Structure 1
Amino acid sequence: MCLAVRRVTPEPVPSRAQQHMVRMRDGVRLATDVYGADQGAAPAPTILARLPYDKNSRYAFFDKIADRFTARGYVVVVQDVRGKFRSQGRTLGWTGEVDDGYDTLEWITHQPWSDGIVGMFGDSYYGFTQWSAVSSQHPALRAIVPRVTSTTNAPGIATYDSGSGRQPLWLEGTTYQAQVWTDNDIHEFDVDLTRRPIIAAYEEAFTAIGKRSAGFDLIVGGIPLDPYNGPHPYDARPIPVLHCVGWFDNLGIAHMRDYTELARRPGWAAVQYLIADTIDHENYFLEDAPATPETDHLAGDAALERMLDSYTGPAIEFFDVFLKGVAHPDSLPRVRWKLGHEGWRTAATWPLPEATATELYLADPVAATGTVPGGKLAPRPDDTSEAAEWRYDPDDLVPSAAADTFMQLRDHVDERRTLDRDDVLVFTGPASDGPLDLAGPVRAVLHVESTAPTFDVFVRLLDLAPDGTARLIVRGCVQADRPGEVDIALGHTGYRVRPGHRLALMIAGSDFPNHLPNSGSLESPWLTTAPKASLQKLRTGTAHPSRLCLTVLPESGE
């Protein structure tokens, strides 16, 4: 039976856009739409976006974005990157973006509608193209607004890099490579990830398409890709940056690493701004989760219009300051962040100076092998050393928090059944008398070992409600090949644990289908037909202080 593949081709260019085929230095021409370049109008600042998704599609909604920017006096330029949709060239993401970004900026500055000042805007990959343009150091680029993205999400670079070593392979990212980066179009297909070897499911798709994805082959081959042929953005000429971060974004760990690193660097620190919202990668909000037909912006036009106000508003305000100079930079708060279930707040720095580090120690690990409430999250470690074991079964994998973590909040899954599985460990804290406000980084420091030569550790911190429902706050993972301590970054968050709720920490050996299952041996997990089960052990107590590290605000008295 042949795999069904749906090919997504370019939508028509909107009537109010003018398409140009802009020549790059090697002769390749990139399809570029221009909005708001009315003849006879005075030259104006330009907002540039360069993306691999059809710039004319309902998914990218750039016609609606352009309306909001042009109404404020900006020209908007939207470009299909090399090898995608209407553009020419080889289809291989994360290559050529530095030079193509420079050449596009240069083309803009020579147009009669340009005043020579450019800002860049956009999500995900078109946040990465902004960092590539920063690397190019073109003098026309004066400010960027990267949203839910990072400088380091190229093939072979771990998106969930926690600074603690190798990461389990992000299978969603591999599927993205196979569907988006095969040729100019997008190829949508369902991958049967239960097949063994797993690579056979993708090979079936490439056979049906008639082409391969070069990016996919890089990932499977473990071949890293250096995306910058200029300086790394951290080492480039500083320009103002408005980081738009999602607390529930699947690139959130990497994005906050960019922000915190640049906030420490001379030159860059003075021009870093942060907006952190309770959104996932596709801009669903915690306050609307789970989404309804009235709040699902990918399905309804009214919901999209409402979402776009918060999506573009901060960027317009930022560009008005740094491209037009209509107000002093000090008029913008350095940090705007949303406390989940509570609302927006402002600050001068992040993490907040009033926030404190709090450690909760994993206690009573034997009870953690049972159902909720399981073991305890305690203010101090047990005096005696204890241990608990959990199994990794490649034939019965622990389900992911969401089938599609790009849209983590659209369904906002109740994970109580996962907490009660007999192959996970769960530790819970006491129900809170008042609100507990998490505001900053979260980590799990665990002392673990395995019967296998390589093993994965997945950690989720959840909000356990009085009615038993359990929903994700943050998550992280690491891959280990020896016994000992692992330090797992779970990301930053702004989240209120409401009175009567409690924290629940879950530890598991798999996270499927988001991550590639471990082979349980030294065999490639892509090629194995017989992955091996294993037994993991967590140690606790003063000699092995496994713990959850939180950043919390002082009690508000609410």
Structure 2
Amino acid sequence: MSLAVRRVLPEPVPPSARQHMVRMRDGVQLATDVYGAGREAPAPTVLARLPYDKNSRYVFFDRIAERFTAHGYVVVVQDVRGKFRSQGRTLGWTGEVDDGYDTLEWIVRQPWSDGTVGMFGDSYYGFTQWSAVSSQHPALRAIVPRVTSTTNAPGIATYDAGAGRQPLWLEGATYQAQVWTDNHIHEFEVDFSRRPLIAAYEEAFAAIGKRSAGFDLVVGGIPLDPYNGPHPYDARPVPVLHCAGWFDNLGTAHLRDYEELAKRPGWAAVQYLIADTIDHENYFLEDAPATPESDHMVSVEALERKLDSYTGPAIEFFDVFLKGAAHPDTLPRVRWKLGHVGWRTAAGWPLPEARATELYLTDPAAASGTVPGGGLAPRPDDRAESGQWRYDPDDLVPSAATDTFLQLREHADERRTLDRDDVLVFTGAAATRPLDLAGPVHAVLHVESTAPTYDLFVRLLDLAPDGTARLILRGCAQADRPGEVEIALGHTGYRVRPGHRLALMIAGSDFPNHLPNSGSLESPWLATTPKASLQHLRTGAAHPSRLCLTVLPDSGDGGEGGGPR
């Protein structure tokens, strides 16, 4: 029986848009919609360049355009090279610098353009904004990249990835296979039980009749440098409104961009940040898990409610930097949401008043049992201790969500995962007053393995009084020798409420979000008999495995029970 593949074709161009085929420097023509061009006077333009069908319900640009055009902007939305109605080779993260420049050049030559352009959008159409920055076209005056990064090619080793060795993001490889095979999107279920695992994808390509060049780069471990101009960090500074999500699967990379640019002369002066309690697909913590009434992917009413908060900050930003309607000082430098509390403003991020604190992993021998497991304490034990957990390729630890792009749509209870005997879990005592996490979080683990290469997956969870466990942050690393491993979990703004506890989980797999380790030097894509292994964690003063938090002052318990002092 052949694999079922659903081909996603382009939706009709809406009556409110006019499509143009815009010629690039090499003769390739890109399908480009224009909204709101029939004005008496030229106007500033908002541009988005994306691979997901400019006319699809998924990107809802007809509704987005209504909001921008109502505020006096022309909106231009383009299928990138090789996608949907556009011509050219299908390979993401290539050619966007030149195509971005040529599209900007086309815009400024149109009678409806006043010569100024801002760019807007999520994920890949955040990356195309950074590519346009790299092109250094003078018309680009502001960008609003959402839930994205300068180097977000899923599964491909990219220029200055900055994250150290990582287990391969299997979700990203599947994305390459489904989105970047040809002009269309091909939806299919991957049979993750196949060994070697590569066979499941080969079956899909056989059913489609074409291969994904991006997927082949992933499997081959071939690096991809997306910028044929300067890296955006080294380009001419442009005002940026970073719209990041505490639960976004690209959140760590996005905040790294923000922090790196904050160190650069010129860039620091034009950076702004909005950090919300959202995942990659713009589901909110306060609505999690989503209901039919709050799910914007299925409810028109929920989508309309979301679009006001989705476009509002960008309109405000463009009014300042494209229209000059107000002074930049009228915009808060940082707007951030403290999960379970609400919005706050600040002059910068991380917050100057926040402080670093460390919780040490204790009693590791108990950590492989059920919750509460081991402890999180303000000081390490004087004596050296160790705990162990197994990696079993035939019984992999389930991922926090079946789809991390939709982390908050289901916001799963992970208590059953915490109680598995192949993970370690460390918990603090219940908080007696609010503990406000506000800034970066990382774990430092002293580990070794019986395997020549091994993976470490860490999750920070909120353990509620009723026993439910919900994800706050996660991170991972890959190692090939014993010793200290630092694992970035990203940034957050999150209140641990009274009665709740922090829980730290350590595992050797995260399936199906990440490609399982072969347990040997064999490629995990090609392994038919992956090998089990045993991992050891060391704790105590000589090997201080610990959780490093950033907290607001006057929060937490300050005792032995796991709150910061």
TM range (shorter): over 0.9
Aligned with 1:516: secondary structure? Answer: coil
Give the distance between the partners of 2:295 and 2:174, measured in 1 at CA.
24
Give the distance between the partners of 2:124 and 2:457, measured in 1 at CA.
26
Question: How do 1:288-367 and structure 2 match up within 5 A?
Answer: 288-367=287-366
Match of 1:29 in 2: 29
Match of 1:168 in 2: 167
Match of 2:518 in 1: 519
Say whether the 8 Å CA contact 1:156–1:224 is kept in structure 2: no
Give the distance between the partners of 1:52 and 1:165, measured in 2 at CA.
28
Match of 2:461 in 1: 462
Identity %: 87
| Structure 1 position 157, deviation (Å) | 4.4
Letter in 1 for 2:104: L
Match of 1:396 in 2: 395
Give the distance between the partners of 1:197 and 1:311, measured in 2 at CA.
42
Q: Where does structure 1 differ by over 4 angstroms across 4 or more consecutive aligned residues? A: 155-164
Alpha carbons of structure 1 residues 425 and 163: separation in structure 2 relative to 1, 3 Å: farther
What is the CA RMSD across the aligned residues, in angstroms?
1.3
Aligned with 1:324: secondary structure? Answer: coil
1:246 aligns with 2:245: yes
1:444 aligns with 2:443: yes
| Structure 1 position 163, deviation (Å) | 5.0
Match of 1:262 in 2: 261
Letter in 1 for 2:439: G
Aligned with 2:367: secondary structure? Answer: helix
| Structure 1 position 160, deviation (Å) | 13
Give the distance between the partners of 2:44 and 2:155, measured in 1 at CA.
36
Give the distance between the partners of 1:125 and 1:200, measured in 2 at CA.
28
Match of 2:535 in 1: 536
Alpha carbons of structure 1 residues 72 and 332: separation in structure 2 relative to 1, 3 Å: same
Match of 1:93 in 2: 92
Match of 1:428 in 2: 427
Aligned with 2:138: secondary structure? Answer: coil
1:184-219 superposed Cα distances (whole Å, 9 cap, x missing partner): 000000001111000000000000000000000000
1:394-413 superposed Cα distances (whole Å, 9 cap, x missing partner): 00000000000000000000
Question: How do 1:77-88 and structure 2 match up within 5 A?
Answer: 77-88=76-87
Give the distance between the partners of 1:215 and 1:110, measured in 2 at CA.
34
Give the distance between the partners of 1:192 and 1:302, measured in 2 at CA.
35
Aligned with 2:554: secondary structure? Answer: coil
Letter in 2 for 1:90: R
Give the distance between the partners of 1:195 and 1:557, measured in 2 at CA.
47
| Structure 1 position 153, deviation (Å) | 1.2
Aligned with 2:316: secondary structure? Answer: helix
Give the distance between the partners of 1:393 and 1:179, measured in 2 at CA.
29
Aligned with 1:143: secondary structure? Answer: strand
- Counting matched residue pairs gives 557
Aligned with 1:366: secondary structure? Answer: helix
| Structure 1 position 557, deviation (Å) | 9.9
Say whether the 8 Å CA contact 1:125–1:149 is kept in structure 2: yes
Give the distance between the partners of 1:71 and 1:373, measured in 2 at CA.
54
Give the distance between the partners of 2:291 and 2:158, measured in 1 at CA.
30
Say whether the 8 Å CA contact 1:145–1:242 is kept in structure 2: yes
Long gaps (5+) in structure 1: none
Aligned with 2:282: secondary structure? Answer: coil
| Structure 1 position 423, deviation (Å) | 0.1
Give the distance between the partners of 1:83 and 1:492, measured in 2 at CA.
35
Aligned with 2:116: secondary structure? Answer: strand
1:467-517 superposed Cα distances (whole Å, 9 cap, x missing partner): 000000000000000000001000000000000000000000000000000
Aligned with 1:115: secondary structure? Answer: strand
Say whether the 8 Å CA contact 1:372–1:426 is kept in structure 2: yes
Aligned with 1:491: secondary structure? Answer: strand
Alpha carbons of structure 1 residues 343 and 411: separation in structure 2 relative to 1, 3 Å: same
Match of 1:235 in 2: 234
Match of 1:405 in 2: 404
Letter in 2 for 1:192: D
1:171-191 superposed Cα distances (whole Å, 9 cap, x missing partner): 000000000000000000000
Letter in 2 for 1:304: L
Give the distance between the partners of 1:499 and 1:158, measured in 2 at CA.
42
Match of 1:280 in 2: 279
| Structure 1 position 264, deviation (Å) | 1.0
Give the distance between the partners of 1:284 and 1:369, measured in 2 at CA.
33
Say whether the 8 Å CA contact 1:243–1:259 is kept in structure 2: yes
Give the distance between the partners of 2:157 and 2:259, measured in 1 at CA.
18
| Structure 1 position 41, deviation (Å) | 1.6
Aligned with 1:178: secondary structure? Answer: helix
| Structure 1 position 554, deviation (Å) | 1.3
Give the distance between the partners of 2:126 and 2:316, measured in 1 at CA.
18
Give the distance between the partners of 1:162 and 1:28, measured in 2 at CA.
30
Question: How do 1:5-154 and structure 2 match up within 5 A?
Answer: 5-38=5-38, 41-154=40-153
| Structure 1 position 347, deviation (Å) | 0.1
| Structure 1 position 165, deviation (Å) | 2.5
Aligned with 1:369: secondary structure? Answer: coil
Aligned with 2:457: secondary structure? Answer: strand
Aligned with 2:22: secondary structure? Answer: strand
Give the distance between the partners of 2:158 and 2:441, measured in 1 at CA.
17
Long gaps (5+) in structure 2: 558-565
Q: Under a length normalisation based on structure 2, what TM-score does the superposition of the two structures give?
A: 0.97
Say whether the 8 Å CA contact 2:151–2:161 is kept in structure 1: no
Letter in 2 for 1:242: L
Say whether the 8 Å CA contact 1:159–1:251 is kept in structure 2: no
Aligned with 1:174: secondary structure? Answer: helix
Match of 2:561 in 1: none
Alpha carbons of structure 1 residues 321 and 69: separation in structure 2 relative to 1, 3 Å: same
| Structure 1 position 154, deviation (Å) | 2.1
Letter in 2 for 1:21: M
Letter in 1 for 2:150: T
Letter in 2 for 1:108: I
Give the distance between the partners of 1:139 and 1:121, measured in 2 at CA.
17
Say whether the 8 Å CA contact 1:164–1:486 is kept in structure 2: no
Give the distance between the partners of 2:408 and 2:109, measured in 1 at CA.
43
Question: How do 1:157-236 and structure 2 match up within 5 A?
Answer: 157=156, 163=162, 165-236=164-235
| Structure 1 position 48, deviation (Å) | 0.2
